[in-house]
Structure 1
Amino acid sequence: MYNDGIASDRFQAVQYVRSHPNATIPGYFSSYNLGIKFVNAASNASANAGSGTVGNLVLALNLARLFVTTSLNYAQFPYRVRFCWWGAEEVGLLGSIYHVEQASLPSATTESGRLQDYLVYFNYDMLASPNSNFGILDSLSVPPGTPNKTLPGTDRITNLFQQWFNEQKLPWTKSGIGGGRDFVPFLTEGIASGGVNTGAGGFKSATERDQYTALLETGNSGLANVAYDSCYHQQCDRINNVNPFAYEKVVKAADYAIEYMGRLRDLEK
């Protein structure tokens, strides 16, 4: 973290910043006031948007490190990987819709993003709910109006995540791929989509709890008839409202999907 000294007492970076004392969220202070806003934003909505935001950042930074560290001999992907953080999802998907609209324009460039360059889209959000499940976006529940050409690729992504969780001997749950999420603008434009999450405001049933208990230790299977995230959209969704066990697993699943798809030679098909 960097503090440019705008604060009157020119205190050192990190000191007196209103963040959880054990937080390890990376940040960069371009100014004191802006830095405070960044840290406070990262400390709020931790299991909700914060978990996906930081999870994507970790994936992006590590992938970049692998590509630029020559001693690791990490082979380049035949495709570009673009990491995106959308704004205003919950007021109408404004960020993702705007990007898709701009990417569809004739003036769009490779750098800004051209819609025809997108082959698959992964949505990683709600990754650390305290009473989590391992939700896999279900290709059988795509929203109305999804082009038929999108379905084979979306089904392939769903199967990929299911295979990973099965191989890891982890339970998983079908998660609706309906409207209200940032993958919808991509799906409706014919781009295969999928992803993982750990649940939001819905409740874990006794049946689901028992399914998870059969494969996980009791402490990781969660509580029946309790919301996946009791602090969903509430002030209590802070840095301590995170399930580290679930967070680690779904980020590893997300990483596997990027690595697997990035090595394929037939994504266009």
Structure 2
Amino acid sequence: MKLSVPGRVTGAAAMVVAALLTTSATADAAPARVAAAPDIPVAAVKAHLTQLQSIATANGGNRAHGRTGYKASLDYVKGKLDAAGFTTTIQQFTSSGSVGYNLIADWPGGDANQIVMAGSHLDSVTSGAGINDNGSGSAAVLETALAVSRAQYQPAKHLRFAWWGAEELGLVGSRYHVNNLSTANRAKISGYLNFDMIGSPNPGYFVYDDDPAIEKTFKDYFAGLGVATEIETEGDGRSDHAPFKSAGIPVGGLFTGASSTKSAAQAAKWGGTAGQSFDRCYHSSCDTTANINDTALDRNSDALAYAVWELSD
């Protein structure tokens, strides 16, 4: 943030201001905040999407539960996290006669009794590569985790990231995870942030309203960009935050719209095309890397990182 000094300052007064600014910058006193969230490079997020697309293409066109493309997607994400210094855990479950996998990544340090989680589902439907649904959320969560590593961020709270399996079959992976947490371990999670479809090609900017503090964090970020938001309703209870919410854990998240139609008022506010779905390729074979709005992906990735830094500090 650039520090601005109101009014016109000249002569000796300017020298005093400069001295005060220098003193402020070099003082030993603890800063008001531990660290500011980094900008998440959208090119890096898109590079992960390119990898997920390549994985789908090499594995029958999808990354669905029980298919080779899903496990290859999980191995790709895990490899990045392991190299970045995370402690990763693969959690296995069975659904529809096939083994599924969740990936959990813990960043060392922070208060283990206060855990901030950010997660997304990594599986696609069988009909396509699932690049917006939900490569977009998965790639943004991954790049935010890698930004934590690059910054060697040491927040007050413990950071945990998650990629869920079999969401498309009914939130199977995330529900399995929550159901297998002890009451004590559930109580340690101070917030779960969910990111499902954050790069829709005809995007809206929707914020979950489940927890007031988390909701305000996201709204404040977008207000700072001058981007209006609306309360998310299309996906209520339809993504991986639902099992956490049912267990009494505070939840929040972001969404750019699926099969619902963008209204004229929304198009006037956000741009795009009124009378058209937010994502015309929802659950279809055309949900490829061509099905991403870069601006929405960039804004939501940065908002994700902002929330992780704000809520864990």
Question: Could you state the TM-score of these two structures normalised by the residue count of structure 2?
Answer: 0.59
In structure 1, distance between residues paired with 2:186 and 2:183: 9
How far off its partner does 1:91 sit? Answer: 1.4
Give the AA of the match of 2:309: E
How far off its partner does 1:210 sit? Answer: 1.2
Find 2:249's aligned residue among 169, 191, 194. Answer: 191
8 Å Cα contact 1:86/1:96 also seen in 2:
yes
Alignment of 1:194-233 (within 5 A): 194-212=252-270, 221-233=271-283
In structure 2, distance between residues paired with 1:178 and 1:198: 13
Deviations 1:100-129 (A, max 9, x none): 1111278xxxxxxx3222110100110100
Q: What residue in structure 2 maps to residue 56 of structure 1?
A: 141
Q: What residue in structure 2 maps to residue 122 of structure 1?
A: 193
Q: Does 1:246 align with 2:287?
A: no
Q: Does 1:80 align with 2:165?
A: no
Alignment of 1:64-213 (within 5 A): 64-67=149-152, 74=153, 76-104=154-182, 114-139=185-210, 154-176=211-233, 178-212=236-270
8 Å Cα contact 1:90/1:180 also seen in 2:
no
In structure 1, distance between residues paired with 2:172 and 2:264: 36
8 Å Cα contact 2:165/2:172 also seen in 1:
yes
Q: What residue in structure 2 maps to residue 45 of structure 1?
A: 130
How far off its partner does 1:178 sit? Answer: 2.5
RMSD: 2.6
Deviations 1:175-201 (A, max 9, x none): 026212111111111111001111111
Give the AA of the match of 1:65: R
Give the AA of the match of 2:260: G
Deviations 1:146-185 (A, max 9, x none): xxxxxxxx11111121111111111212102621211111
Q: How many residues align?
A: 201
How far off its partner does 1:253 sit? Answer: 0.7
Answer with 122-131 or 83-92: which moved more: 83-92
Give the AA of the match of 2:287: D
Q: Secondary structure at the match of 1:133?
A: coil
In structure 2, distance between residues paired with 1:235 and 1:178: 24
Q: Percent identity?
A: 32
Higher strand share: 2
Q: Secondary structure at the match of 1:123?
A: strand
In structure 1, distance between residues paired with 2:129 and 2:170: 21
Deviations 1:194-233 (A, max 9, x none): 0111111111000111122xxxxxxxx1100100000000
In structure 2, distance between residues paired with 1:256 and 1:229: 25
Give the AA of the match of 1:116: A
Q: What residue in structure 2 maps to residue 24 of structure 1?
A: 47
Unmatched tracts of structure 2, length 5 or more: 1-45, 53-57, 60-67, 77-122
4+ runs deviating over 6 angstroms: 39-43
Question: Could you state the TM-score of these two structures normalised by the residue count of structure 1?
Answer: 0.69
How far off its partner does 1:90 sit? Answer: 2.1
Give the AA of the match of 1:134: Y
In structure 2, distance between residues paired with 1:187 and 1:251: 23
